[in-house]
Amino acid sequence: MVDHEPDGSPSATTSGGLGDAGLLGDLGILAVDHVGLAVPDLDAAIAFHTDVLGLVLVHREVNERQGVAEAMLAARGAPDGAAEVQLLAPLDASSTLTRFLERSGPGLQQLAYRVADLDAACAVLRSRGVRLLYTRPETGTRGSRINFVHPKDAGGVLVELVETSGPH
């Protein structure tokens, strides 16, 4: 429970675990970082999201280790740090994302939370018996550090934890 000051703002003395994280809660969640959408054709998905929905392409990269090509999009005029949309397309038939698309079709693939300290968040989750997909964090978009909560431990949702390498 978060205590509030008379003006309605969260109290600076609210405790939540993770050392002095306080308002961050015991996992140190700062914000929703992005939602990931699995798509079969990255260029077509970018065109739809930019030309039809009016989002802005802010970053594009290939992650060979994860077997995906990806694009990050934001609302026009969104402030730095605002939640983004991540479009993910498989690089080839061996990609885990290819299997996801075959099983589930295009659509929501993950929900990512930005955390203050990924190692601490992973330690808290493991202490609660939650399975993570990686033993150690991997490198994600824009050089971020990432790990995933196993979907079977998160009600069928692939939850990503992201410690950013800087502003986005």
pLDDT in tens, 129-149: 999 999 999 999 999 999 999
C-alpha–C-alpha distance, residues 44 and 9, integer Å: 43
pLDDT in tens, 87-137: 999 999 999 999 999 999 999 999 999 999 999 999 999 999 999 999 999
29: its two tokens = 């969640």
Number of domains in the chain: 1
The alpha carbon torsion through 1, 161, 129, 126 (nearest 10 deg) reads: -100
Query: Is 121 within the bounds of a domain?
Result: yes
Say how many C-beta atoms besides its own lie within 10 A of residue 91's C-beta. Answer: 16
Answer whether residue 164 shows pLDDT above 70.
yes
Q: What percent of the chain has pLDDT over 90?
A: 80
Query: Is 6 within the bounds of a domain?
Result: no
Instruction: Quote the domain boundaries for residue 118.
Output: 25-163
Q: What was the pLDDT predicted at 167?
A: 64
Answer whether residue 31 shows pLDDT above 70.
yes
Q: What was the pLDDT predicted at 9?
A: 41
Query: Is 159 within the bounds of a domain?
Result: yes
**Mean of pLDDT values over 5-20:** 42
Answer whether residue 30 shows pLDDT above 60.
yes
Q: What was the pLDDT predicted at 93?
A: 95
Q: Tell me if residue 163 falls in helix, strand or coil.
A: strand
Residue type, 146: I
Q: What was the pLDDT predicted at 37?
A: 99
Q: What was the pLDDT predicted at 15?
A: 37
Check which CATH number belongs to the domain holding 95 and give it: 3.10.180.10
Average pLDDT value over all residues in the chain: 88
Answer whether residue 18 shows pLDDT above 90.
no
Answer whether residue 44 shows pLDDT above 70.
yes
Q: What was the pLDDT predicted at 6?
A: 55
Query: Is 52 within the bounds of a domain?
Result: yes
Query: Is 7 within the bounds of a domain?
Result: no
Query: Is 13 within the bounds of a domain?
Result: no
C-alpha neighbours within 13 Å on the C-beta side of residue 4: 4
Q: What was the pLDDT predicted at 166?
A: 73
